[in-house]
Each structure stands twice: as C-alpha cells, then as structure tokens.
Amino acid sequence: MMKPILKFAEPVMGTVASVHVVADRVHSQVVTAVGRVFGELHRLEALFSTFIKTSEISRINSGELSLLDASPEVIEVMDACTWLEHVSDGAFVARRPNGGLDPAGFVKGWAGQRASKYLAEFGLDNWLINIGGDIQTAGLNADNQPWSVGISNPHNSDELRFSLDVIDQAVATSGTGARGLHLWDAKGRPVEALGSMTVVGPELRWADAFATVAYVKGLDGVAWVEQFPGYHALAITLSGDLIAPAWAVSSI
Amino acid sequence: MTRNKSADDQFPLVRRLAPAVLLASGGVVFLALVDGPENMIILNSSSTTGSVSSSSSSTSNPTGSTSTQELTCGAARSTGAQVEFKWGIVQVEALLDGEGELCEVEVLQFPDADRRSLAINNFALPILRDAVVVAKNANVQAVSGATLTSRAYMASLQFALDNS
Amino acid sequence: MTKPLRRPIRSALLDIDVVALTAVATMVVMGVWLRHGGVDMLAGSALDRWTSISRLSGLFASFTGLVGVALSIRSTQVERKFGLDTMYNWHRILGETMAIALVVHIWSGVMSWSVEASVWSAIRDLTGREPYMAMATVGAFFILVVAFTSLRAVRRRMSYETWYFMHLLSYAGFALAFSHTIVLGGDFNEDPIARWMWIVVHIGLAVWLVIGRWGRVVRSVLKPLHITNLESTGVNTVVVTLGGPALENLRGDAGQFCYLRPLVRSSWWKSNPYSMSAAPSTDGLRFTIKDRGDASQTLGGLSLGTRVAVEGPYGTCTPEVLAGNKLLMIAGGVGIGPIRSLLERVGPETEPVILYRARSEKDLVHVEELTELAIRVNGRVQTIVGPTSSLAVKDPFSTAVLLTSVPDLQDREVVVAGPESLLFAAYKGLRAAGIDALDIHFERPWW
C-alpha cells in the first residue's frame, strides 16, 4: 500500500540536497523538520566552506582564528579527518600542501548525517536525504519496501549501473568518471583507476569518507573498507565491470 | 622386508620419488582449482559475456526485447547469464512490462545459505541488483553517482532523477 | 700409528633443562588458548564450544608437530643426551599424537562452521572459500598422508626411500598450514604478541632445520670419506672400511652407528644407518654389512676409493655408559657390530661373556675375532645357533637358561644388540632374573 511521499530539494554546499519523507499526511511537523535540516546544512556550509571568506575554516587558514578556539563542530571534523588520514595510510587528505585545512572530503557526508538528526527528532521514521549523491536512508519507502538507491554508470550518467535496496543504511559514491586518469596512492605507486567506488554502511559520514579513500586505493579499496564492521564497498572498473565482495551477491 | 626388488630395476630414484611428487602435484592442482585470488567476484557488464552456461544466453537489458501488448509486469521475461564465482552461481531474470520496460528483477539462483551470508543478513545488508538499466526505467528513489562534474549539470540531473 | 678418534662430546643438557623446556612450551601453548578465553568458550554456545576445541587441538597439533620436526634435526646436544633411537621414538609418538590432534582439529572446525550452516557448506568454506584454507587443506592432507605411511604396517610395504620422500611432504604441510593459523586462528589474528611469538618460533625452527639438518647433509657430502678396504667374510657379508682426511672432523666411539650415503650415481639419494664393527680410529671406520636388501647390496658392491658421505656417528651405547662391572653381552644379527667394537674398548676386569645368537652357522660372522678379543679380557664367547624351534631349550633367554650359561648373571651389567625380537626376549629374561633396568644397555628399535 502506497503511502504519501513528500519531496523537498534545495541548493546547498555547491550541490543540491533533497529530502524524501514518507508520512501519513502532510503536517507542520514534517515541514518544520525538513526546514531545520536545510537550515543546519546552510549553517554548516557557512562554517566549513573554503569558498566563503568568513567561514571558520577560511579564518583558520588565513591565521585569523586558532584551531584551538574554533567551534566544537570544526574540532570534531578535524579530529575525524586526522583519524581518517591515519587509518587510510594517507589516502585521505584534509590538509593542503601549504598546511591549510580543507575538510571538504568529509564535511558533506558528515553534515548530511548531522542535519538528518532533525528528522528523527521530529518523530519521522521513514525518510531519505540525498546531498549531491551522498545518501542516508531510514526505515522504508512509500511502498513499504527498502529504499532503492541507484548507482549511476560512471561512463554514462543516463544509466544506472546497479541498484541497492537498503534499510537504515547510507550510500556514498566517489570517482572522477574520467577515463584513463592515472592515480597514485600515498606511497607514489600507481593504482588501477576505477570508474567509481560506492560504500554502503550505517552512517553517511563514514560511508562518504570511506568511498573517497577506497576510490583512491583502487581495487584494494574494496578489501580496505571491509575492515570496518557494517561497511562494504562496490567498485565499477573503467571497463564497466562491477566488483563486489562475495557477500553482496550471495545475499541477493 | 617384504619389498619387491623389481622396483629397483632401472629408475630406482624416479620410482621412489613418484608417490611424493604425485601427492605434491595433486596439492598444487587443488590449490590452483580452489583458491581464487580474492574473496571477490566480477560480474560482467554485459550479461552475455563471462562464464555463461549454454542454456541461458539472453540479456537482462530490456532495450529491444520483444514483448506482448499487455501492461502487466512480467509480460516478457529475460533471463540473465549464470554468473559463477567463488561462492556459487547467481542468475537473475528481468521482468518486462508490455512496453518492454524493466519492472522487476527476480533472482533465479543464488548460493546456498552459508555461515557468511547468514551473518551478513543479520546486519540487514543491502541488496544488490546488477544490470545496466536505463535510469528512467529503474525504480529507484535516489541516485548515487560519480560522474557529476559540473554543478549545474549535477543539480538538473538530480532533480530529474529524484522526481522521475 | 693407529689412534682412536676423539670421543663424542658430552651433552650440556641436563634432565631438568628438558623438563623446564617442555613445561615452558606447554604453558605457552595453553597460555595462548587461555589468554583468549578458551575455557570460558567451552562453557558457551555450541559455536563457542566447537571453536574453542578447534583452537586448542590446532595449537596442540602445531606444538607436537614443531617438537617432532625439531627432534628430526638431530641436534648434537640432544642426540648426545638421549640417543637418536630415543629421539626417533619420540618423533614417532609426537607424530602420531599430532595426527590425532589434527583430526580433532579438522572435525571440531567443521562442527563449529556448521553451527550456522549446513555441514556441506562448512566443508566448502574450510576447503577453499575462507582465506588460506585451501592451502591448509592441502597441508593437512600431506601431514595425514605422512602419518598414515608411517604406521608400521604401511611403512613395511614400501622401501625406505619411498617412505622418506613422502615424509618430506610434511615440511610442505607445515608451511601450507601456517598462514591459516595466523589469519583465521582466533589465537593469533588479533593478538600481536601471540602472533609474533608464533611467527618467530616458526622462522626460528625453519632456520635451525636448514642449518642443522640440511647443513649436516651438505657438509657430509662436501667432505666425504672413501672406501679404503673391502673384505668378504662369511656368506653374503662384506667388511667395508672408510677412511680419508675427513676422519679428523669426526668424533666417535665403539658401539655407535653412522648414516652412509655412497656418492655414486645409483645411490647418492640413499642414506642408511650402519653399525660400526670396530672402534673408530685414524685407520678408519669399519662396517660389517650383510646383504639384507638393496642398500646393503649396493654398499658391498662398490669399488675401492668410492666416496661415501658419512653422518654421525650417533648412538649413546658407548663404553662411557658402562660402569666397569663384569659384563654380559648379547648379540644377534646386525648387533654383532656394536658388540664387537665395544669388546675392543673394555678392560680385563669385565670378564665379558658374549652370547651370540644366530639362525644358522652361515649367519655367524667375526666369531674368531670375537673369541680373540674376549680371551684378551678374560672373557668367552658362546654361540646359540639354529631356528628357535630346533633349539634344545624353548627360550634361550629365559632366566633359567641365562643362569645356566652365566651363573654370576646377577653381578653383571648387560649390553644387548640385535633385532627387535632378540631385544625384547633378552630384556624380558634379564629383568625376570632380577637385573636392574639401568644395568641393561641397548639401543631402542626404531629402524
């Protein structure tokens, strides 16, 4: 039995964020909650964007602000980035060569997950939030089925290469999509370039970051992600092959 | 010692090495057959290639498939390739509606429940459907992708996909 | 000028060292299991219980296997302390124990895997789907084949070399099984201390094996002795003397044996043990060889000057173990070699009585030499010849018969050398006559 679904979309963080909420009827709670979500995304963009001169990150990079005096969110993000740099053997980069901070690789997923808390706080159980392709889901979709997330074909964005049915999971994809681009890992070794890397897991902030890291690591990235309980990676090679850990297929 | 002296005849060393060498080669052959490179599988992007069994050779790509005029899902069916990998064989069937559009994917064959996949199911893991499907045909609520380079392009595409 | 060879070294090992080493090794193995909750898991769910049993039996199989391999290195220190015969008997006991532990390990592993899935699926997981399990499967198969072919009944049906070459597969078995213990074994994959200990133990043993065991073979081949004398004596019996400058590197004494590897095309790959039939000296090592099978035949059929790689001498039944009491020496078959050589090295106070058992007159060798040597030290030689059924007495080594031939039996130390049946018969009769077990010297049958 199909339930009503409410869709909201708004440009933010240089992309488009959309929120789908499954609810029995349209009521002010839903509108308020989604409003809070977008509000939070705009607030975090103002805090972290390197394109906004007055953001805390910009002020830290220009020396106006000490990292020690930054807001708790900035410190939380930089802590997480530092951990990611370590756990990825340097594949994750949140600092520029000149020492400046650029946590953009982490902020989008983290902000999406953080903002989605308002949906839960307003008692909403079934929703999906999509920040430029980084997706967090909760509960079921309007058909009372798992949310179905398509993964686009890196070579032809009109196509979906595969889809994932997920419950309470986040999905994030990383990749340039450019053919023939060569990548090097932290140690300067060439990695087999992939079309894209998708990571599925309970929390969007980690799924997004892990996708970034795993994409840089190439084929090894699939196994690298498996070390984190609950997180799994699926890669699409430049030739269009889908590479997944065996479980993904055996659980079809 | 109840040993057969004729074994000594011409190639005593070869003769006596033979059982050990045979066993060792047996081990090597076993390893070559059983031990795959990684716990990974590769599904070919075109379902007609790869390790395809002779009985199933059609494609899961709905484009160009013949169909009846009925609009019910499953009016036409297209069986995908059997894809064999370390954990077993997977085969899917695409169900098309009367207009030849993909409406459902059924899994015909998948590996027996084993310890690993049971454990995975306990984590409520995602379900993967592999097929090159045209976006507008796919029944998805959101798209995660990597080709979105220009912001304007990204915005329009996502609007289109989300609201399709 | 004939000089005896330098005497074998004395082992620095003490009984307490061996006890301590065994205790520490056992504690480490058990400790690894306990440290990772082995006991608690036994009381847990079916999965935990089987996993715990599988871990313990796996550790135990590895432990017994490693010690078994260590014994086969034939370390001089250990050999001088226990003798090669005892070491190989322990090697056999440890090998059989390991095979049983391995079967328990495999069985409990399959049981634990099939708690959450079918047995068939568990078997497929454990023979290839899980990382490194295909290698472990092959390794376990090799080790079980080696254990099976070492059962006496099976071993008898094949030549020594066929068995030995298959036995070498156990090295491959250990190497193949190693990865799964590190990756899958709950005791090592998450505990860096235990893992590094495990890796160090394996690498250490491998290095010791290569240097100690194979290095010894290489040295023996690089510095071989050669045949300096060949003499036929008796029916199908040849006396071979080995000499050369490499003798200077050897230490040995009467009563010992050597592994001989004739460096000729037909038999460079065969290494077999032979007892020395004279006290080793600068004149050379003397072996009395009866035509028993292919290797003996080959050695007797060689020509003067042939190079022979020598490993050893081994064996602890040397004059050093004799306390200087009066002696009774019982010999049969191949045992005449060590008895004859020991006789060269005993004093007149021993007044030795030599009981020489043979199936027929033509099987007797060196009787004249024996008699000469015996008379020199106030002794005598008594032969007991004929098939057992034809003898006047039913059991030539019963207490009554022994006391008749040697009235002062109870005052004597005894050396026994010969085939298994003779050893058991003599040991039984001597013990029944009240001889202390410590006063009966012999090499345990293992060949």
In tens digits, chain C (447 residues) has pLDDT values of: 688 889 888 888 888 888 898 898 888 888 888 888 888 888 888 878 998 999 999 999 999 999 999 999 999 999 998 899 999 999 999 999 999 999 999 999 999 888 766 788 788 878 876 767 888 999 999 999 999 999 988 988 888 889 999 999 999 999 999 988 887 776 787 678 888 888 999 999 999 999 999 999 999 999 999 999 988 877 778 889 999 998 988 999 999 999 999 998 888 888 888 899 999 999 999 998 876 555 445 676 788 889 999 998 999 889 988 888 899 999 988 889 999 999 999 999 999 999 999 888 888 888 889 999 999 999 999 988 887 777 767 778 888 888 888 888 888 999 999 888 888 889 999 999 889 988 999 887 665
Count other C-beta atoms under 10 Å from residue A36's C-beta: 16
Contact with chain B for residue C265, Cβ under 8 A: no
DSSP C384: E
Q: Are residues C89 and C161 in the same domain?
A: yes
Q: Is C447 within a domain? A: no
Quick one: C82 and C171 in the same domain?
A: yes
Element containing residue B23 per DSSP (H, E): helix B12-34
- Give the pLDDT confidence score for residue C138 in this predicted structure: 94
Are C292 and C256 members of one domain?
yes
Check whether residue C386 and residue C310 sit in a common domain. Answer: no
Distance between A64 CA and the closest CA of chain B, angstroms: 30
Task: Give CA–CA dist C202/C63, Å, rounded.
Answer: 11
Same-domain check for residues C21 and C131: yes
Question: Any chain B CB within 8 A of the CB of C131?
Answer: yes
Q: What is the domain-level CATH number for residue C299? A: 2.40.30.10
C208 and C112 within one domain: yes
C289 with C351, same domain?
no
Provide the shortest C-alpha distance from residue C432 to chain B (in Å): 31
Which residue positions in chain A have pLDDT lower than 50?
Answer: 1, 177-190, 249-252
Domain ranges of chain B: 10-34, 73-162
> Would you state the pLDDT for residue C145?
95
* Whether residue C83 is found in the same domain as residue C71: yes
Closest chain B residue by Cα to residue C132: B35
Question: Residues of C with CB below 8 A from B19's CB?
Answer: 158, 162, 165-166
pLDDT of residue C35: 84
The more confidently predicted of residues C339 and B121 is C339
Residue C111: closest CA among C53, C41, C60: C53
A239 to chain B: closest CA residue: B45
Tell me what pLDDT residue A181 has: 42
Quickly name the fold that domain B73-162 has: Sufe protein. Chain: A (3.90.1010)
Please tell me the distance in Å from B109's CA to the nearest CA on chain C.
16
**Residues of C in Cβ contact (< 8 Å) with B23:** 142, 145, 166, 169
| Domains of chain A, first to last | 5-248 (3.10.520.10)
Same domain, C214 and C288: no
In a domain, C165, yes or no: yes
- Give the B:C interface size as CB pairs under 8 Å: 88
B37 interaction partners in chain A (CB closer than 8 Å): none
Q: How many alpha carbons fall within 13 Å on the CB side of residue C446?
A: 17
C21 and C128 together in one domain = yes
Are C162 and B19 within 8 A, CB to CB? yes
Q: Greater confidence, C82 or B106?
A: C82
Average pLDDT, chain A: 81
- For residue C238, give the nearest of C164, C184, C295, C316 by alpha carbon: C295
The radius of gyration of chain B from alpha carbons, rounded to an integer in Å, stands at 26
For B34-78, the pLDDT digits (tens) are 754 333 333 333 332 222 222 233 333 333 333 333 346 666 665
Q: Is residue C34 part of a domain?
A: yes
Q: Is the peptide bond before A97 cis (omega within 30 degrees of 0)?
A: no
On whether both C275 and C180 belong to a single domain, the answer is no
Domain region containing C419: 319-441
Sign of CA dihedral B56, B59, B62, B65: negative
Q: Is B164's pLDDT higher than 50?
A: no
Q: Which of C366, C364, C356, C337 is nearest to C277 (CA)?
A: C337
- Number of separate domains in chain C: 3
Say if residue C270 is in the same domain as residue C134.
Answer: no
Nearest to residue C237, comparing CAs of C130, C363, C126?
C363
Are A195 and B38 a contacting pair at CB < 8 A? no
Q: Is residue C446 part of a domain?
A: no
In a domain, C405, yes or no: yes
Quick check: is C19 in a domain?
Answer: yes
